[in-house]
Chain A
Amino acid sequence: EVQLLESGGGLVQPGGSLRLSCAASGFTFSSYAMSWVRQAPGKGLEWVSAISGSGGSTYYADSVKGRFTISRDNSKNTLYLQMNSLRAEDTAVYYCAKDSIAAAALDAFDIWGQGTMVTVSS
């Protein structure tokens, strides 16, 4: 079964850091680009960042550029999101999501994790 499982969320003070992880199983992880998508409480979906299957290409939303870093370890089938200089407006459920087509640069997301909550508050 194809599965994504996020972890690492929690409560952090403004200006603090957090690293999210997403463990993948049931598919050839290195063949697919992966993304992080977030959802603030009661709000819609916002794409945050993406990384190619090899990890050689990364993409960021303007709202997180320079503060967040996406990476992956294909030997561990794990995706990461390092979040620094966190702000109150970063408070959201963070989902990892898998591209539906192997080797696609930009694609629909066919598999989503259950999400991990990040709360930025003093």
Chain B
Amino acid sequence: EIVMTQSPATLSVSPGERATLSCRASQSVSSNLAWYQQKPGQAPRLLIYGASTRATGIPARFSGSGSGTEFTLTISSLQSEDFAVYYCQQYNNWPPTFGGGTKVEIK
């Protein structure tokens, strides 16, 4: 199965600053990569699919890039509601696999 590795595990950022999260696949997943946001006690929410397409209702401050094995989620100016855990997921090969997550915390 494809192993997804996210870095860093924890990212400390001040409100208003930019956050850059990385996700690496153990083999190419083309652009079949999604990003999710999860807040404590809540279900994950789809942010990005196709590596760079924002899901419905997702603010423009969230952007995704990359293809093949290297991917990035950028939050251009962190808002208070953006502090959460972010997961990447590949859906190019069975089984679909998730990264271990990056926790974005307030600095």
* Chain A residues at the B interface, C-beta cutoff of 8 Å: 35, 37, 44-47, 50, 59, 61-62, 95, 100, 106-115
Contacts and interface: CB of A to CB of B under 8 A. Distances in A.
A106 B94 contact: yes
B18 interface: no
Interface residues of A, dominant DSSP: strand
Q: Give the bracket for the number of chain B residues in contact with chain A.
A: 20 to 34
Q: Which of B96, B99, B101 has the largest count of A CB atoms less than 10 A from its CB?
A: B96
Contacts of A62: 95
Interface of B: 32, 34, 36, 38, 42-46, 49-50, 55-56, 87, 89, 91-101
A112 B46 CA distance: 9
A62 to B, nearest CB: 8
A62 B50 CA distance: 26
A44 B99 contact: yes
B44 A45 contact: yes
